[in-house]
Amino acid sequence: MITAALAPAPQESPAPLPAGRWQAHWRQAIRDPAELLAGLGLEAADLGVSAQALAQFPLRVPRGFAARMRPGDPADPLLRQVLPVDAEMRVVPGFSFDAVGDGAAKKATGVIQKYRGRALLVATGSCAINCRYCFRRHFDYAGENAARGAWEEALAAIAADPSIDEVILSGGDPLALATAKLAELTTALAAIPHVRRLRIHSRLPVVLPERVDDELVHWLAGLPWPLAFVIHANHANEFDASVDAALARLRGAGAQLLNQAVLLRGVNDDIDVLAALSERSFAAGVLPYYLHQLDRVQGVAHFEVDDARALELHAALRARLSGYLVPKLVREIAGDTGKRPL
């Protein structure tokens, strides 16, 4: 979730696949708020569900993720991350459409570089889940595409700049692409001698752990670089045995696992919840990396936690947890040389 621009068209595989394949789980995601709420024994009217917000950014929730929501709880932290509600339609000053300046940081088709040494490759605009707080809600998906031609421009830009030693696969969610496609990409990257590390940012191990199949693990294990794998979980309840198993397989393939979370009002703006997230992440082999202040895009203001409260929560975390369990509290500011600590 670290790039706001350049997202290509979401990809859907045309042919039906056998049950058990991750693509089938992907396609079977819940898209109807009424279905999601009925499964939880909740009423749409009580929750402020908004048809307008739904039209602006569709609901999409993998069934396995929905199964981790608490039935009968309208304040469930996982439900709140995905349910389109009236508050999103409020126009709030200071909340824009390109909050993190990605439009200005485009280096080539599919490549964003804001920070020294790290180039971000926008692999695809697709995600398995639609998170309401994400700036992705405003993308023009038709604008770019992940076809082979687009890789070539991106790869040429990386090859031409020896200062880039780390390539970050991002999106959308890069693991939305078929593994064969990802392998094509890393084979081409392996021919660029100054690339020395690979990083993958993906929410899929958490929201669709079926994605971490044998083929994916085999591809990762065969990569020629040290691998950082940044997952995205905002609440301890997002973990279950299937997620633990997926994460264990990623570690088995040699990935260093890190978690980035977004600080979200009504989801995790609580010391006990944040401490539990760090502890649960670590139990699954994942070190806390970043706790982000959200990007100020239209439709997310109701999730915002003010800086004073964010700093107070962060101080409380430091006072409670081992140092390595405390994520860095940061905000992204357009034009900065890196994520800015609060």
Ligand X SMILES: *Cc1c(COP(=O)(O)O)cnc(C)c1O
Residues at the binding site for [4Fe-4S] cluster are 127, 131, 134
Position of tokens 């980035």? 260
| Interaction between residue 117 and ligand X (CB under 6 A) | no
Looking at residues 212 to 231 of the shown chain, list those that interact with ligand X (rule: CB under 6 A). none
- Alpha-carbon Rg for the chain in angstroms: 19
| Interaction between residue 338 and ligand X (CB under 6 A) | yes
111: nearest Cα among 168, 43, 73: 168
Least gap, CB of 150 to ligand X (angstroms): 17
Q: How far is the C-alpha of 261 from the C-alpha of 290, rounded, in Å? A: 6
Q: Looking at beta carbons only, is 38 or 104 nearer to ligand X?
A: 104
In the list ligand X, ligand SF4, none, the entry touching 181 (Cβ below 5 to 8 angstroms by class) is none
| Interaction between residue 23 and ligand SF4 (CB under 6 A) | no
Interstrand relation of 111-115 and 106-108 (parallel, antiparallel or unpaired): antiparallel
Q: How far is the C-alpha of 251 from the C-alpha of 237, rounded, in Å? A: 21
In the list ligand X, ligand SF4, none, the entry touching 37 (Cβ below 5 to 8 angstroms by class) is none
Do residues 173 and 203 lie in contact, with contact meaning Cβ atoms separated by under 8 Å?
A: yes
Looking at residues 163 to 192 of the shown chain, list those that interact with ligand X (rule: CB under 6 A). 168
| Interaction between residue 115 and ligand X (CB under 6 A) | yes
Q: Looking at beta carbons only, is 106 or 302 nearer to ligand X?
A: 106
In the list ligand X, ligand SF4, none, the entry touching 173 (Cβ below 5 to 8 angstroms by class) is ligand SF4
Q: From the list 5, 37, 131, 258, which residue makes contact with ligand SF4 (rule: CB under 6 A)?
A: 131
Q: Looking at beta carbons only, is 36 or 168 nearer to ligand X?
A: 168
Q: From the list 120, 122, 134, 220, which residue makes contact with ligand SF4 (rule: CB under 6 A)?
A: 134
In the list ligand SF4, ligand X, none, the entry touching 130 (Cβ below 5 to 8 angstroms by class) is ligand SF4
Give burial (CB, 10 Å; 0-12/13-18/19+) of 33.
buried
Q: From the list 129, 146, 183, 231, which residue makes contact with ligand SF4 (rule: CB under 6 A)?
A: 129
Looking at residues 93 to 112 of the shown chain, list those that interact with ligand X (rule: CB under 6 A). 105, 112
Count the alpha carbons within 13 Å of 197 in the hemisphere toward its beta carbon. 16
| Interaction between residue 114 and ligand X (CB under 6 A) | yes
Cβ contacts of 285-288, under 8 Å, gap ≥ 24: 285/247, 285/248, 285/251, 285/257, 286/231, 286/233, 286/247, 286/257, 286/258, 286/259, 287/256, 287/257, 287/258, 287/259, 287/324, 287/325, 288/258, 288/259, 288/261, 288/324, 288/325, 288/326, 288/327
In the list ligand SF4, ligand X, none, the entry touching 112 (Cβ below 5 to 8 angstroms by class) is ligand X
In the list ligand SF4, ligand X, none, the entry touching 219 (Cβ below 5 to 8 angstroms by class) is none
295: nearest Cα among 336, 325, 324: 336
Contact positions toward ligand X, by CB under 6 A?
2, 105, 112, 114-115, 118, 120, 168, 338-339
